[in-house]
Amino acid sequence: MKKLINTLIVDDNPMIIEAYKSMFSYGDLEEYEINIDIASDCDSAIAKMKQALKKQPYQLFYFDMNLPPSSDGKFKSGEDLALYAKQNFPKAKVVILTLNNDNLSLHNILTKINPDGLLIKNDSNPADFIAGFKTILRNPPFYSSTVLKYLNTINILKDKQQFDGNDIKILMHLENGVMTKNLTKYINLSLSAIEKRKSNMRKLLGVKRGNDQELIKAAKEKGLI
């Protein structure tokens, strides 16, 4: 007997949705019966999820990150939808689909959502999509190649030089032009704690001059950002 997988794909690009739907026809998926619903914005996605809660819950979600916000302003992006799905469908698998492949975006997705799958759209091909589908259902998480490269870099630096998530955030926001005095708006640390971390990172990265540009340059050379 085939295992029913009720699936919701949310993306505001109809061609992208059709591409992902067509990928389910590739590979050996004979053990599954895949029922696909689609939504193109936050309003329709929430409506689909509320309806599913009353009838037959979803087992799998694919959310694009960049979506039109809901009319009431409560849901601003795919991130909000993913968090809603994780809260209301605790047994379901949540996958993020995104074009955003910069380190800050990947870090935020992994730390805030902790999805069962993270697929960069430019990495996607039918074979990887099907492999991801199987892994996500059986033994998550599944990450596409760009995400794995980012994680490998971070893990190497963590192991060798004891960088943590807040250090990465500091570097990323500095790279994006945020001044040190304003970092407390983005990171849950005091200004003194941030300054201490910056000083420690300079030592670890061998930065003798104290300005942020040199710190960012050294971090890039090490592949940290």
Task: Specify which residues 97 forms β-bridges with.
Answer: 64, 119
Which part of the chain has CATH 1.10.10? 162-222
Residue-wise burial string across 119-148, b where 16 or more C-beta atoms lie within 10 A, e elsewhere: bbbebbeeeebbebbebbbeeebbbbebbe
Is the CB of residue 45 less than 8 Å from the CB of residue 81?
yes
> SS3 of 119, please?
strand
- pTM equals 0.73
* Structure token digits, residue 86: 């994780």
Written as six digits, the tokens of 166 are 């807040």
**The CATH number of the domain covering residues in 162-222:** 1.10.10
Each residue's pLDDT, cut to its tens digit, for the chain (225 residues) gives 889 999 999 999 999 999 988 888 877 788 899 999 999 999 999 999 999 999 899 999 999 999 989 999 999 999 999 999 999 999 999 999 999 888 778 888 988 899 999 999 888 788 889 989 999 999 999 999 989 888 876 665 555 456 777 888 899 899 999 999 999 999 989 999 999 999 888 888 878 777 898 898 888 777 677
CATH level 3 topology of 3-147:
Rossmann fold (3.40.50)
Q: Give residue 46's pLDDT.
A: 97
The rounded distance, in Å, linking the Cα atoms of 121 and 97 is 6
Query: Checking DSSP bridges between strand 60-64 and strand 142-143, what pairing results, if any?
Result: unpaired
- What is the predicted pLDDT for the residue at 104? 76
Neighbour-count burial of 49, counting CB atoms closer than 10 A to its CB (0-12 exposed, 13-18 middle, 19+ buried): buried
List Cβ neighbours of 70 (8 Å cut-off, separation of 6 or more).
41, 42, 43, 46, 76
Supply the pLDDT for residue 164. Answer: 79
- Quote the crossing angle between the two packed helices 165-175 and 191-205, to the nearest 10°: 90
Q: CATH 3.40.50.2300 in the chain, residues?
A: 3-147
